[in-house]
């Protein structure tokens, strides 16, 4: 099988990765603690200045969690069977779930603000106005802080883990395609490049091979899909309405 081109993730977490992850995790812990200290500012009388300060602190947390999260996702995507990347991904998932639960109070507070107060703050939020407006739209479907925390904890070891398992299974698939008289053994991403090939025959053959391999694994993949759908229904419809 052709070896895919490797990408560099040094801009996210430079080597040695464990040391970099510890450093970013330490910065994240400090940022979370500072953000939690701002909770007392969150009243219906909050000034625009204080609100922007809270938004800035929240954005700083987003930058740190994004660096960690994107690194683990991209490392896992490179090789879904690598025990080191799997272990790191599990560690990061737990870390990000904890971070999400610790900043959750801000979202809940903002959703519950009186319309006039929220509109004033949104008007002065600059580029963040759309995300804040979107957050408010979800207010009728938001649960209590305790319930939202439980869902986040449940997901990381439940539906999210199931999706990771799906990615491990499908990421290990190999496909055979004849190109210019030569049979090639390809990964899913490599096969996908032929979905847009100028030759309609080659495009058709690529899709047929893609679905052939997936069909061979239909029972397992179907079970994963069914449980994903049930999980969404239980939370999205029954709990959130």
Given a contact cutoff of 8 angstroms between Cβ atoms, the answer to whether 106 and 54 are in contact is: yes
Evaluate if residue 1 carries a pLDDT over 90.
no
| Tokens 């883990």 found at | 161
Let me know if 193 is exposed, middle or buried by CB neighbors in 10 A (0-12, 13-18, 19+): exposed
Q: DSSP H helical segments within the chain, as ranges? A: 17-37, 48-78, 83-112, 115-123, 129-137, 145-157, 159-171, 188-192, 200-216, 218-232
What mean pLDDT comes out for the span 85-96? Answer: 92
Q: How buried is 76 (Cβ within 10 angstroms: 0-12 exposed, 13-18 middle, 19+ buried)?
A: buried
Q: Is the pLDDT of residue 237 over 80?
A: yes
Question: With 80 as the cut, is the pLDDT of residue 2 above it?
Answer: no
CATH superfamily of 17-142: Oligopeptidase f, N-terminal domain (1.20.140.70)
Helix (H) / strand (E) containing 182: strand 182-186
Token pair belonging to 158: 């439940």
Give CATH 1.20.140.70 domain extents, the chain.
17-142
Structure tokens at 32: 């979370």
User: What predicted TM-score, i.e. pTM, was given to this entire model?
Assistant: 0.84
CA–CA gap between residue 24 and residue 168 (Å, rounded): 27
How many other C-beta atoms are found inside a 10 Å radius of the C-beta of residue 221? 15
d(C-alpha 103, C-alpha 105), whole Å: 6
Q: Which residue do the tokens 């896992």 mark?
A: 76
pLDDT digits (tens, 9 = 90+) for 139-154: 999 999 999 999 999 9
Check whether 6 has a pLDDT greater than 80. no
pLDDT digits (tens, 9 = 90+) for 13-65: 999 998 999 999 999 999 999 999 999 999 999 999 999 999 999 999 999 99
């Amino acid at each position: 099988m052709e070896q895919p081109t490797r990408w560099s993730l040094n801009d996210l977490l430079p080597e040695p990765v464990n040391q970099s992850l510890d450093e970013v995790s330490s910065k994240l812990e400090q940022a979370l603690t500072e953000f939690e200290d701002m909770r007392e500012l969150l009243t219906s009388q909050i000034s625009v200045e204080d609100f922007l300060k809270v938004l800035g602190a929240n954005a700083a947390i987003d930058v740190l969690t994004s660096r960690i999260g994107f690194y683990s996702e991209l490392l896992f995507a490179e090789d879904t069977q690598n025990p080191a990347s799997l272990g790191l991904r599990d560690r990061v998932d737990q870390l990000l779930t904890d971070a999400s639960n610790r900043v959750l109070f801000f979202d809940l507070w903002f959703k519950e603000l009186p319309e006039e107060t929220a509109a004033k703050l949104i008007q002065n939020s600059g580029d963040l106005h759309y995300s804040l407006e979107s957050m408010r739209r979800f207010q009728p479907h938001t649960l209590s802080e305790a319930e939202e925390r439980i869902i986040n904890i449940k997901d990381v070891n439940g539906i999210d883990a199931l999706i990771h398992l799906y990615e491990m299974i499908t990421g290990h698939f190999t496909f055979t395609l004849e190109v210019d008289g030569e049979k090639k053994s390809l990964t899913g991403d490599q096969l996908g490049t032929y979905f847009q090939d100028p030759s309609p025959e080659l495009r058709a053959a690529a899709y047929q091979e893609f679905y052939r391999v997936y069909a061979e694994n239909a029972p397992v993949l179907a079970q994963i899909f069914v449980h994903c759908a049930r999980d969404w229904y239980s939370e999205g419809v029954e709990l959130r309405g």
